[in-house]
Amino acid sequence: MTPSTPALPVPVQSSHWNPTPAELRDRIASQHGALPTATGTYSITTRVKSRIPEATFILPGTDGRAKGPHLSAEMASRIRRAQDEHLSTKEVFVLDGLIGGSSPLQGRVRLIADASYPHLAAMQQILHFPTWQEVDPTLPPCTVIVTPDCAAPGIPGGKAVLVDLATRTTRILGSDYFGEVKKAGFRHWNAAVYDAGGLALHAGCKVIPTGGDEATVLVIGMSGTGKTTTTFADVHGSLPVQDDFVGLLPGGTVIAGENGCFAKVTGLDPKQEPAVHAAALHKDTLFENVALDASGMPDFQDDSLSDNGRATFSLASLPAVRDARTIEPVGTIVILNRSSTILPAIARCTSVEGAAYFMLGETEGTAAGGVTEDGKFLHVPGTNPFFPYPDALQGNRFREIVTGMDCSILLCNTGSIGGPAGNERKKMTIATSTACIAGAVDGTISWTRDPDFGYDTAVSCPGVEDGELLAPLALYARTGRSAAYSETVTMLLHERRATLGRYPGLDRDLQAALDGH
C-alpha cells in the first residue's frame, strides 16, 4: 500500500485499488465457476442465487431511524469481528464509483471485495458512474465490504447483510451473488435522497414520443415483475433512461441512479425485448448463473443454473438511450403489480389513491427476491425493499411529491386474471402492457370509474382487443364465477385497509384512501 492510498476501515493482507476492466477480466478467467462464453466474456455460477432479505439487518443511523429486522449491538459486533479477522488474511479489490451520475445528489461508493471473487468488482465497475471529480472530497463514502467465504456467526445459514446507517457501511458475509452488492450502495443512497427532500424509487425510466412532445414515464416495481421489460418495451420509439433506481425530486425531476443494468435474462426473448437481448450479447457484458449452449453462447431459455439468471451491461451497450439530464419532468408514473386475480391490465388513480397503492406495494414475489418471496403474495411498500427508514416515511414523501406534480398515476398488472389454477385464466402479455401505457400517455383510452375500487378502468384501449383483460369481471361472469369476483373484492379491500393501518406515522388521508370503496 502506497503512502497516498487512503486507509481502509478493515485490516487486509493486501489491496488492489481501482483495477482496470482488463485486469478484472484477467482475474475472472481463473475464478472458480467462471465459464468463457462465445461472446468473449464470462458467465459465473454462484453459490447464492438471489438476495437474502431474511438475513438483512439495518442498524440505526445517528438519528435513531432504521427499519427491521433488528440485530443486537453485541451480535453486530461479533459479525464485524469475524469479518475483520477473515479479511486480515485476504487480498481485496478496492473499487471507487458513483451512484447518481453528475447530479447534485451523487453518492460515493467504495467497494472492498475479496479478490477471489473478481466478478463482484467487475460488475460493480460496469454499473457505477466512474468519476469522482465533481464530488466534494470531504464527504465520506458509503462503504460495502464483501466476504463470500466468511460465515456470519450466530446467523442461521451463515449468510448476513449488516447495514450500518450511522457509519454508511454495509457488510455482506456468506454471499457471492452480485445483486446483493449492487443494492448495498442503493440503501445508503435511498437515505441520502430522502434526507435531501426527494425519494429514491425502485423504478425504471423511459421517454415516450407523443405528438410533437415526449412524456417522461417512471415504472415502479419489484424485481422480477416486469420493471425492466416494461422500461425497455418500445412505445412509439421510446428510449430507456434508467433500468432500476432513480431519484425523484419535488417538481418531477429525475436523477439516474446508475450507468448500466443488472437485468434478469432468464426467459429473455429477442423478439419481445430486442434492446435488452442485444445488450446482453455485447462483448463486455458479464453474466451470473446463465447457462451456455454447446457452442458457448448464453442460453436464456435454460434455467438449469437458476431462474434468476442475470446480465450486467453498460448503458452504452444498448442500441440507444437517453441521458436523464436531458429529459422533462415526470408526466406518468406506472406502478406494477404482478397479480393473478381481478386487477385489470391498467387502472388510473388520483394522487392520494396512487400514493396508497404505492404504499401497499402489492405483488406476487419472484425468485429475484429469494426463497422467502418466490411465489408468495407480498406487500412491499413502494416495491422498494431497500428503503432503510420506516416505511411510512416513503409513503408520505411520495404523496407529498406527486401532489405537487402534473402527472398520471397508473396501476399495471403484469401477471394474469382469473384466479387459482383450475379456472380459466388469461395472462397479461408485454404487448398488452405496452398498448395500455401507450394509450394512457396518448390519451386514447376511454375510462370509467370502477364501482368497487374507485379507480378508473379502461372501457377500451387501442391495441387491446380482449376486453376481459381490461374488465376482469367480464371473465368471471362469463365463466359463472361472479360470486368469486365479489368475494375477492371484499377480501382485497379488507386486506388493503388493514395493511395501510399497520404503518405508524402514515398520513391519515393515505390510511383512509380506500375507505370510501
Q: What is the pLDDT of residue 131?
A: 63
The domain locations on the chain are 14-31+51-197
Find the radius of gyration of the CA atoms of the chain.
23
Q: What is the pLDDT of residue 497?
A: 92
| pLDDT tens digits, one per residue of 22-71 | 999 999 999 999 999 999 999 999 999 999 999 999 998 878 888 878 88
Torsion sign (Cα): 26, 29, 33, 37: positive
Place of cell 404504499: 359
**3-class DSSP string for 114-166:** ECCCHHHHHHHHHHCECCCCCCCCCCCCEEEEEECCCCCCCCCCCCEEEEECC
Place of cell 390510511: 511
Query: Are β-strands 446-449 and 456-460 bridged in parallel, bridged antiparallel, or unpaired?
Result: antiparallel
Three cell numbers written together for 50 = 438471489
Place of cell 431462474: 307
Three cell numbers written together for 98 = 458513483
Long-range pairs for 424-429: beta carbons < 8 A, 24 or more residues apart: 424/475, 424/479, 425/340, 426/466, 426/468, 426/469, 426/475, 428/345, 428/469
Q: What is the pLDDT of residue 1?
A: 40
Q: Which residues of 23-55 are buried (b: 16+ CB within 10 A; e: fewer)?
A: ebbebbeebebbeebebebbbbbbebbbbbbeb
**How far apart (Å, rounded) are the C-alpha atoms in residues 121 and 388?**
24
Q: What is the pLDDT of residue 515?
A: 74
Q: How far is CA 381 from the centre of its chain?
A: 13
* DSSP-derived 3-state class of residue 278: helix
DSSP class of 97: E
Q: What is the pLDDT of residue 107?
A: 85
| pLDDT tens digits, one per residue of 417-433 | 999 888 999 999 999 99
Q: What is the pLDDT of residue 455?
A: 94
Which residues are bridge partners to 129 per DSSP? 98
| Spatial contact of 397 and 199, defined as CB atoms under 8 Å apart | yes
Q: How far is CA 47 from the centre of its chain?
A: 22
Q: What is the pLDDT of residue 136?
A: 58
Q: What is the pLDDT of residue 472?
A: 96
**How far apart (Å, rounded) are the C-alpha atoms in residues 140 and 391?**
26
The pTM of the full predicted model, rounded to 2 decimals, is 0.92
Q: What is the pLDDT of residue 115?
A: 98
Q: How far is CA 187 from CA 59, 84, 111, 127, 268, in A?
A: 12, 22, 14, 15, 28
For the chain, list residues with pLDDT below 50: 1-3, 369, 373
Q: What is the pLDDT of residue 130?
A: 76
**What's the N-to-C CA distance of the chain in angstroms?**
65
What is the assigned CATH class of domain 14-31+51-197?
alpha beta
| Spatial contact of 98 and 19, defined as CB atoms under 8 Å apart | no
| Spatial contact of 285 and 317, defined as CB atoms under 8 Å apart | yes
